[in-house]
C-alpha cells in the first residue's frame, strides 16, 4: 500500500478512543507507517510501526527513534522530532481553525480528525524507513 492511499483511508475520522481500528493499526505496522495525531490537550500519539505517546501540553517537540518516543532530549539516541502546534491558527479547507497540527522535516502525508464535525487534528503519516 502506498502512504498516500493509507492517509486517504484514515482521513475524516471522528475523534474517539481507540482512534483507529485494529485493522488500520495492523495495516500501518505491516507497511512500516507511523500515524501521529493529537489526543486530549497534552498528548502526541504514535501508532503503527511505533506504538507510543509523548507529552506536549500546549505544543512542543517530541523526540523519538525508530522504536520509541523519548520524554526529553537525547540527540544521539532519539535524533528525530515532530513539533506539535496547539491552536496555532492553521485552518482546514473550510476556513475553520485546527486544534492540533504538526511540523517536521520527515516526508509525510496528512489526514484530518474531527470532533463533533469541527476540525480537531491534522495528523501525519510517515514511513519509518524515512527516519532510519
**pLDDT tens-digit profile of 2-37?**
999 999 999 999 999 999 999 999 999 999 999 999
3-class DSSP string for 68-102: CEECCCCCCCCCEEEEEEECCCCECCCCCECCEEE
Domain that holds residue 76: 3-131
Torsion angles phi and psi, residue 10, rounded to 5: -95, 0
pLDDT digits (tens, 9 = 90+) for 68-80: 999 888 889 999 9
Prior bond of 18 cis (ω within 30°): yes
Say if residue 41's pLDDT is above 90.
Answer: no
Cell numbers linked to 6: 493509507
pLDDT for the residue numbered 107: 97
**Percent of the chain surpassing pLDDT 90:** 91
**Count of domains for the chain:** 1
Amino acid at each position: 500500500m502506498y502512504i498516500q492511499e493509507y492517509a486517504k483511508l484514515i482521513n475524516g475520522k471522528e475523534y474517539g478512543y481507540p482512534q483507529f481500528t485494529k485493522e488500520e493499526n495492523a495495516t500501518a505496522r505491516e507497511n512500516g507507517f507511523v500515524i501521529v495525531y493529537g489526543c486530549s490537550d497534552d498528548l502526541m500519539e504514535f501508532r503503527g510501526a511505533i506504538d507510543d505517546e509523548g507529552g506536549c501540553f500546549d505544543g512542543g517537540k517530541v523526540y523519538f527513534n525508530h522504536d520509541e518516543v523519548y520524554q526529553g532530549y537525547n540527540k544521539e539516541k532519539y535524533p528525530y522530532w515532530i513539533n506539535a502546534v496547539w491552536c496555532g491558527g492553521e485552518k482546514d479547507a473550510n476556513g475553520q481553525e485546527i486544534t492540533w497540527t504538526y511540523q517536521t522535516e520527515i516526508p509525510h502525508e496528512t489526514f484530518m480528525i474531527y470532533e463533533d464535525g469541527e476540525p480537531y487534528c491534522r495528523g501525519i503519516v510517515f514511513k519509518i524507513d524515512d527516519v532510519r
